[in-house]
């Protein structure tokens, strides 16, 4: 059972457009992580958010953690084909609890 | 330094068989975790080991077992395979196994197909 709900499930956009993916939880997590996974590879950590209301930027990627620490979003500005992949959010306790992910396709 | 290595990369088995998957953590990492990722889903936690001791177990049947060796490498064993066991099995390592404060490094996984 996935405690974390991610939306949308699929997203296909043109190069240069912006996109936002969402992660919502039924539980409060002490911290939350975002990963990107490419076909045939394991997930790679993008960011960890810890404080409610926190905003982190990683080049063209902006991550927000909700005030109540139950939701998060990932915004990509001016998407590029290299941003294509499966984006996973994961809540952290003694283990990672992953959402089902959002498959992002950026068309050249 | 080498990352987390898993073997084999692909495996095909039939129902009822047994399978052993192997993982070597990053040098200096003492903790290994196993995750199962079914197509279209996020990874699901199976086990965590630290210093050869089981630290955590996910909601998986007893057909799933694991162990960690003195060199910190690990094996995941699955008995009496079912069609539903078909998945990508991921291994992740970290220094101390403190998921809250440490970064997990994932291997590329073993793709298991059960026919």
Question: Is B8 part of the contact surface with chain A (CB cutoff 8 Å)?
Answer: no
Query: Hey, are the CB atoms on B42 and A99 less than 8 Å from each other?
Result: yes
Query: Hey, are the CB atoms on A94 and B55 less than 8 Å from each other?
Result: yes
8 Å CB contact between B47 and B54? yes
Can you tell me the distance from the alpha carbon of A83 to that of A71, in angstroms, rounded to the nearest whole number?
22
* Strand bridging mode B110-114 / B10-13: parallel
Of A31, A40, A100, the CB nearest to B108: A40
* Strand bridging mode B74-78 / B53-57: unpaired
User: Which chain A residues are within 8 Å of B38, Cβ to Cβ?
Assistant: none
8 Å CB contact between B64 and B46? yes
**What residues of A are in the B interface, CB distance below 8 Å?**
2, 4, 6, 30-31, 40-45, 48, 88, 90, 92-101
Determine the pLDDT at residue B1.
62
Determine the pLDDT at residue B104.
92
Can you tell me the distance from the alpha carbon of A44 to that of A85, in angstroms, rounded to the nearest whole number?
11
pLDDT digits (tens, 9 = 90+) for B6-58: 999 999 999 999 999 999 999 999 999 999 999 989 999 999 999 999 999 99
Average pLDDT in the B58-65 region? 97
* Residue whose pair of structure tokens reads 């992953």 in the numeric block: A98
For residue A60, the tally of other CB atoms under 10 A from its CB is 13
Of B48, B103, B108, the CB nearest to A95: B48
pLDDT band at residue B115 under the 50/70/90 scheme? very high
Q: Which two tokens stand for residue B31?
A: 């903790």
B73: which residues sit within 8 A by CB, 6+ positions away? B22, B23, B24, B25, B32
pLDDT digits (tens, 9 = 90+) for B65-103: 999 999 999 999 999 999 999 999 999 999 988 877 788
Average pLDDT in the A7-22 region? 97
pLDDT digits (tens, 9 = 90+) for A31-54: 899 999 998 899 999 999 998 999
Q: Which two tokens stand for residue B60?
A: 């998986």
């Amino acid at each position: 059972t996935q405690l974390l709900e991610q939306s949308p499930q699929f997203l296909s956009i043109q190069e240069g457009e912006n996109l936002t993916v969402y992660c919502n939880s039924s539980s409060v997590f002490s911290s939350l992580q975002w990963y990107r996974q490419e076909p045939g590879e394991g997930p790679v950590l993008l960011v960890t958010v810890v404080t409610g209301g926190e905003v982190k930027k990683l080049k063209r990627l902006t991550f927000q953690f909700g005030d109540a620490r139950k939701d998060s979003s990932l915004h990509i500005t001016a998407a590029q084909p290299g941003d294509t992949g499966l984006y996973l959010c994961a809540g952290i306790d003694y283990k990672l609890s992953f959402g089902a992910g959002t498959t992002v396709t950026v068309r050249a | 330094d080498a990352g987390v290595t898993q073997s084999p990369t692909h495996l095909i088995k039939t129902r009822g068989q047994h399978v052993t998957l192997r993982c070597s953590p990053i040098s200096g990492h003492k903790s290994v975790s196993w995750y199962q990722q079914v197509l279209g889903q996020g990874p699901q936690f199976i086990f965590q080991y630290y210093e050869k001791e089981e630290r955590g177990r996910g909601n998986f049947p007893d057909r799933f077992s694991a162990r960690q060796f003195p060199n910190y490498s690990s094996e995941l064993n699955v008995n009496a395979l079912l069609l539903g066991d078909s998945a990508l099995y991921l291994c992740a390592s970290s220094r101390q196994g403190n998921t809250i404060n440490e970064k997990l490094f994932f291997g590329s996984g073993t793709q298991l197909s059960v026919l």
